[in-house]
Structure 1
Amino acid sequence: MQGTATVQFGASAPVFNGTNTDTIFVSANEALIDWAINSPTGEFLPEGMTLRFNADTGTPFTVLNRVTDTATTGPLSISGTVSSDPLGRIWFYNAGGWVVGSKGVFNVGSLILTSLPITVDPATSGGTRLYGDKNEIRFGSALDPKSSVSIQSGAQINATLFNSSYVALVAPRVDQAGTIKVNGSAAFVAAEAATLTINNGLFDIVVDSGSADDTGVSHTGSTTWAANSSSTDSNHGVYLVAVPKNQAMTAIVSGRMGYDSATTAAVVDGSVVLSAGYNVASGRVDPNAVVGDDASLAISNLTIGSKGFATSLLGSASGGIAIDATTASTVVNGSAAFDARGDLSATIDNDRSISVEGDLSLTSANGAKAGNVAVSVAGDGGLFVSGGLSLASTATGAIQTDPSNGDALLPDSLGDDAVAGNVSLTVTNGSVFATSTSLLSDATSGLGALSTGSATSGSAKIVVSAPAGSTSNSVSFGDLTISSAASHGFFSRQQPVSGGNATSGEVSLSVSGGLIRPVHSRFIRMRSPIPLATSRHLMPLRAQYPSVFPISRRGSRPVRSTCRTMPRPAMAALSRSATCHCRWTMPMQGPRLSPTTALSSVPSLSDRVLTAI
């Protein structure tokens, strides 16, 4: 060791074995040790040295190590080995932060590395000093707002000795490029002050002060838990929480998270939670606790879980979310849901892919204003979803009720205008597979006593194109719904004095090039307030490709009788307030097309089937 230890309570002074190991004997459930070192190079535990924590308590024990270096104010390095008994919870604090070098190894029960001071209460009779009244760990304000915790490539952190273990890295900047294995949960928190509570493996993470760093958290390494009979914790999880102070922040997410390679089926599914700008409550993003604006997620080259052992991925951002699969693929062995207040995008190219073993949803929602949602597949890339694919931009204005009278609207209040973004799926010489596909742009205006706000939804478009006669890629949307809807909020007890406008966007499906390959038992729904185009626009397609555009057509009330008469020479326009729910049903058995039939001769459906006004 590079320094001296002063035991404040709960342990003995380190015992050196004469070669390379310092051993600390812990005699209580909690211990506090202050370390003073003088290392110009910032070494706390050099390579080849071991720091060992032993206890004879027979119960879980916590040791807080507070380390100061009189020679430097920057991060301290750990390149040796730290070990403990299986029930040991080992915490390290240094105001300048920590660097775990490529040779650094931890074999402990649980671990905290932080640059935020951990609160220690005064001594009381039989009471805890390291935890709060609700078993929370209290991280005070960072003395150095530029401090960080960094796990370098090659470093190993193993907290696998006991169930319900945890690893937490807490600092204004957190970099995880090493290998972490935990038999419970891991948390990476970018903040200048925070509170963590761990209940049965679930984290509550409250950020009291955000970080001024532009990235906050960068995860490029591996954070996993073993899928074997000794890993039976019911709440496995990885939590990435990045909260900005007053600036834009984009957390970087790649590498591997979730279940490691499985060795037995006696395991419980887990989850990965990515939170940019939000607190975490009971292991989930708290949507009502936005604590940092303009926090985004940049996701690439990410693997979640292992085949056959589902790990759900939940990503939320107060800014935007960008998924990049142009240089490396992303795989989620479970369902994935992304929610942002800003724009969402997924870009796939250069023979790379995004694969999800479950449902995949991308949703933008931020009260009365929502961002755009765009997915692009090109260059022989692929989007493969074993469940349903959902893209949505949803804007909902508030209904302003009177706080003193829930049966009335707030006097003199005005309804919010609601504006939803555009939703698009563009496939250019690429492949897409999903059991169902839904594109939705939806705006619902707010209500006030004086007025209803306006509602404007964006466009909802699918564009598929490939070289004529191409067979290298395929597209299968399953049951397909494309919808753009604009409407007003409703309050049954009182109507506003004046109304507002509602305008929906364009709805289109465009296909060109490639080959038609009919599929069975599929249907298409396209919805939008219209006048509906005349049926003659579909007649040439039905005549040439009867198995692709069959005759069955149905509509939902209140316009069922009008919508179901296909084919007629012409169809009367529907009223502006009506919504037509159109459906084409693929026959279970239908005429097969020649494998050489090219789609280049099929007119685009864009603006010809349903056009919004």
Structure 2
Amino acid sequence: MGTTATFQNDFNNSDFAVLNRIVPSGSTRPVQFNGTVISQLQQVSAPSVAGGTVFFYSPGGILIGGTSVFDVGNLALTTSDLAYDAASGAFDTSGSYVFQPVTVPGSQVVVSAGAQLNATVDGSYIALVAPSVVNNGTIDVNGSAALVAADAATITFAPNGLFDIEVNSGTSATGAVAANNGTITGPAAVTAGNFFHRVYMVAVPKNDAITMAIGAGSSLGFDIAGAVDEIGNTIILSAGHDVVGGNLPSAAPSAGGGSGTASIVGGDGTFTSAVLARATDTINLEANSAAGLDFAGNATLYATGVNSSITANAGSIASFGGSLLFSASVDGTNANPNAQAGGVALRAHDGGAVVLGGDVELSAVGVGAPSMLVGTTSGSGTGGTVLLEALNGGEISFETGLVIDAGGIGGEPSEAGIGGGSGFGGSVTLISSGTTGSLIDLGADLMISADGSGAFGTGCVSCTIDGGSAVGGTVALQALGTGNAILVGGLTTLSADASSGAGQINASGSATGGSVAFSAVNGGSMTLLDATATASAFGGSNFGTVAGNATGGLISMTASGTGIGGVGIAGDLTLQADAFGGSGTAVGSGGG
């Protein structure tokens, strides 16, 4: 198609919606647009204005060529047919559209570089729905845009922009099934008018691992003047999850998916609105050039896998203008009660810089699931890993505070007669190393927890241990090599404590403190204000037999090797690695 196609209402109707079904002979072939598509509303006493709703369906794929221009009210491009009522002409139910299972597995909707998709009416939408969706062009919408990689989905295009996107069947495509290398933008929302602007990217797998890719040069989000308005303007990146009411409220994978996982990867790009991302696998964002990675608003990133990271490589900056929450925490489920958290990292390598302008929270907490079956033990929780790494002249700087939690929390029983879950702390490392000039610099407080917490038992007769055991994790601050440093301008609070759960009938769990280490080696330097470090252990009390034992952990402070450096504490220093056995609180019960 290389000409102009115009869609209009007649004067008897104030609006219209049309479904164009393009089914070529040999329906596995894609169709291509190279011209102009216009949809507008005619008015009796005024010029025509953009409006109406236009859907294009073609089973073999849709390619929007680089010379194409769409000026429409609302637009959907899809390789899924829609349920169509021949009597009424409707193909939706109260704004809810059922995109039926594709007939060509792996079919694509691709917007080429240079193409322009415009929907300028306030509250409008543009949607791409197919097993594979790619935007290399420019999508300009005064409302919400949705890129959905799935074989079948039900989408409710709410007029206020807060969509429901339910994937009924995960994508048959593999690899990078949802990709943006272009621009998705539009005016910022005016929330007083009850319009919310969103960029939705959704990808749900079948049984193969898939990726959502934000390519180098991408620009996502609305006018930057609305960057701080997180309610009105947000980018939703959903790898493996459904969208409900314009949000990602659940960590549960989409019911329409299979056994595969979905990850998010990103290169140099700009995010002009707040970002909310959730993935059933890892999230890895990387700045590789002077263009850098720029988040103008708050960023909230929920990953699941072991190795999620934000990295700035040589000559690049990863910049966060608002707050950052980066989490690989995991909650146990009925099917998998033992929770092993994943890992998150901030890395600045080879002169690259990670710059954080707002509050930062890094989380890798494992929380065991409660047991609901009498005579069993609730799930264990094991903390994951958190790493801050400044390497070979890299710099990670925080204008405000940093909170890190890699705790492990045992599941709490849901009723009587169940054992408490055990908790095992994870690992947190801050390291400045390599060639000279590596720096981790905090302008305010540093708070790190790698605690293990066992849950109380509710009287499990058949359990060897009623209250959950606990083991503290490890916390390490390392400045290694001449000219490499860690600076903290506020209070430093580090803990690798262990607290086991109380027992009602059988023994309480034991508690073993973890370790905290400060190391400045071969000219590396560490400068702290006031510092507190604990690796204590607290045994659980007991109401029937034996309370929990407790063993304190280890705290070390090392300055060694060649060069001028060391560990400097400008204020107070408090170190505790004590142990407190549990109390027997009933006649016949013993202390720990």
Q: TM (normalized to structure 1)?
A: 0.74
Cα displacement (A) at 1:267: 12
The answer to whether the aligner puts 1:177 opposite 2:136 as a matched pair is yes
Moved more, 262-271 or 478-487: 262-271
Cα displacement (A) at 1:247: 0.7
One-letter code of the match for 1:335?
N
The answer to whether the aligner puts 1:220 opposite 2:181 as a matched pair is yes
Partner of 2:374, secondary structure, is coil
Cα displacement (A) at 1:122: 4.5
Cα displacement (A) at 1:424: 1.0
Residue of structure 2 equivalent to 1:81: 36
Moved more, 64-73 or 184-193: 64-73
CA distance in 1, matches of 2:462, 2:367: 17
Residue of structure 1 equivalent to 2:161: 201
Cα displacement (A) at 1:97: 1.6
CA contact (8 A) 2:188 2:233 kept: no
CA distance in 2, matches of 1:423, 1:109: 46
Residue of structure 1 equivalent to 2:424: 456
CA distance in 1, matches of 2:496, 2:534: 12
1:321-357 CA distance string (max 9 Å, x none): 1112234521111000110121311222112121111
Cα displacement (A) at 1:440: 1.6
Partner of 1:154, secondary structure, is coil
Match of 2:330 among 355, 361, 366: 366
CA distance in 1, matches of 2:402, 2:104: 48
Match of 1:296 among 263, 271, 276: 263
Match of 1:421 among 377, 381, 384: 384
The answer to whether the aligner puts 1:484 opposite 2:443 as a matched pair is no
Residue of structure 2 equivalent to 1:166: 125
Cα displacement (A) at 1:452: 3.3
Cα displacement (A) at 1:131: 1.3
Evaluate the alpha carbon distance shift between residue 330 and residue 57 of structure 1 in structure 2; reply closer, same or farther with a 3 A threshold.
farther
Residue of structure 2 equivalent to 1:111: 75
Cα displacement (A) at 1:494: 7.7
1:313-324 to 2 correspondence within 5 Å? Answer: 313-324=275-286
Residue of structure 2 equivalent to 1:139: 99
One-letter code of the match for 2:314?
N
Partner of 1:241, secondary structure, is strand
CA contact (8 A) 2:281 2:303 kept: yes
CA distance in 2, matches of 1:267, 1:369: 31
CA contact (8 A) 1:416 1:445 kept: yes
Residue of structure 2 equivalent to 1:354: 318
Evaluate the alpha carbon distance shift between residue 62 and residue 459 of structure 1 in structure 2; reply closer, same or farther with a 3 A threshold.
same
Evaluate the alpha carbon distance shift between residue 79 and residue 265 of structure 1 in structure 2; reply closer, same or farther with a 3 A threshold.
same
Moved more, 476-485 or 243-252: 476-485
1:426-468 CA distance string (max 9 Å, x none): 1122222221112221111225545333322221111123645
One-letter code of the match for 2:411?
G
Match of 2:401 among 427, 433, 436: 436
CA contact (8 A) 2:162 2:198 kept: yes
Partner of 2:309, secondary structure, is strand
Evaluate the alpha carbon distance shift between residue 228 and residue 456 of structure 1 in structure 2; reply closer, same or farther with a 3 A threshold.
closer
Residue of structure 1 equivalent to 2:369: 398
1:238-275 CA distance string (max 9 Å, x none): 00000011111111113111114659999984000000
One-letter code of the match for 1:313?
V
The answer to whether the aligner puts 1:333 opposite 2:286 as a matched pair is no
Partner of 1:380, secondary structure, is coil
Evaluate the alpha carbon distance shift between residue 77 and residue 529 of structure 1 in structure 2; reply closer, same or farther with a 3 A threshold.
same
CA contact (8 A) 2:432 2:440 kept: no
CA contact (8 A) 2:555 2:577 kept: no
Residue of structure 2 equivalent to 1:407: none
Evaluate the alpha carbon distance shift between residue 342 and residue 558 of structure 1 in structure 2; reply closer, same or farther with a 3 A threshold.
closer
CA distance in 2, matches of 1:581, 1:119: 66
Cα displacement (A) at 1:418: 2.0
Evaluate the alpha carbon distance shift between residue 118 and residue 383 of structure 1 in structure 2; reply closer, same or farther with a 3 A threshold.
same
Residue of structure 2 equivalent to 1:66: 21
Evaluate the alpha carbon distance shift between residue 518 and residue 459 of structure 1 in structure 2; reply closer, same or farther with a 3 A threshold.
closer
Residue of structure 2 equivalent to 1:93: 57
CA contact (8 A) 2:487 2:528 kept: no
CA distance in 2, matches of 1:52, 1:118: 22
CA distance in 2, matches of 1:227, 1:169: 21
CA contact (8 A) 1:529 1:612 kept: no
CA contact (8 A) 1:359 1:386 kept: yes
CA distance in 1, matches of 2:166, 2:379: 31
Moved more, 266-275 or 440-449: 266-275
Evaluate the alpha carbon distance shift between residue 288 and residue 322 of structure 1 in structure 2; reply closer, same or farther with a 3 A threshold.
closer
Flag structure 1 segments of 5+ consecutive residues without an equivalent.
1-44, 306-310, 402-409, 560-574, 583-597
Pick the structure with greater CA Rg. Answer: 1
Evaluate the alpha carbon distance shift between residue 549 and residue 224 of structure 1 in structure 2; reply closer, same or farther with a 3 A threshold.
closer
Evaluate the alpha carbon distance shift between residue 518 and residue 437 of structure 1 in structure 2; reply closer, same or farther with a 3 A threshold.
closer
Moved more, 259-268 or 339-348: 259-268
CA distance in 1, matches of 2:375, 2:136: 56
Match of 2:208 among 207, 229, 247: 247
CA distance in 2, matches of 1:577, 1:342: 32
The answer to whether the aligner puts 1:342 opposite 2:305 as a matched pair is yes
Partner of 1:390, secondary structure, is strand
Partner of 1:451, secondary structure, is coil
The answer to whether the aligner puts 1:501 opposite 2:481 as a matched pair is no
Evaluate the alpha carbon distance shift between residue 490 and residue 131 of structure 1 in structure 2; reply closer, same or farther with a 3 A threshold.
farther
CA contact (8 A) 2:144 2:199 kept: yes
CA contact (8 A) 1:462 1:508 kept: yes
1:19-69 CA distance string (max 9 Å, x none): xxxxxxxxxxxxxxxxxxxxxxxxxx12xx100012135633211111111
Cα displacement (A) at 1:150: 0.4
CA contact (8 A) 1:452 1:496 kept: no
CA distance in 2, matches of 1:265, 1:296: 27
The answer to whether the aligner puts 1:51 opposite 2:5 as a matched pair is yes
One-letter code of the match for 1:51?
A
Flag structure 2 segments of 5+ consecutive residues without an equivalent.
41-49, 332-338, 499-511, 539-548, 557-561, 580-592
Cα displacement (A) at 1:219: 0.9
Evaluate the alpha carbon distance shift between residue 177 and residue 226 of structure 1 in structure 2; reply closer, same or farther with a 3 A threshold.
same
1:456-475 to 2 correspondence within 5 Å? Answer: 456-465=424-433, 467=435, 470=437, 475=441
Partner of 2:300, secondary structure, is strand
Residue of structure 2 equivalent to 1:529: 497
CA distance in 2, matches of 1:495, 1:578: 29
CA distance in 2, matches of 1:303, 1:231: 26
CA contact (8 A) 1:533 1:610 kept: no
CA contact (8 A) 1:248 1:294 kept: yes
Residue of structure 2 equivalent to 1:562: none
CA distance in 2, matches of 1:241, 1:332: 20
Cα displacement (A) at 1:517: 9.5
Cα displacement (A) at 1:220: 0.9
Evaluate the alpha carbon distance shift between residue 558 and residue 394 of structure 1 in structure 2; reply closer, same or farther with a 3 A threshold.
closer
Residue of structure 1 equivalent to 2:250: 287
The answer to whether the aligner puts 1:235 opposite 2:196 as a matched pair is yes
Cα displacement (A) at 1:228: 8.9
CA contact (8 A) 1:482 1:525 kept: yes
CA distance in 2, matches of 1:462, 1:184: 42
CA contact (8 A) 2:494 2:532 kept: no
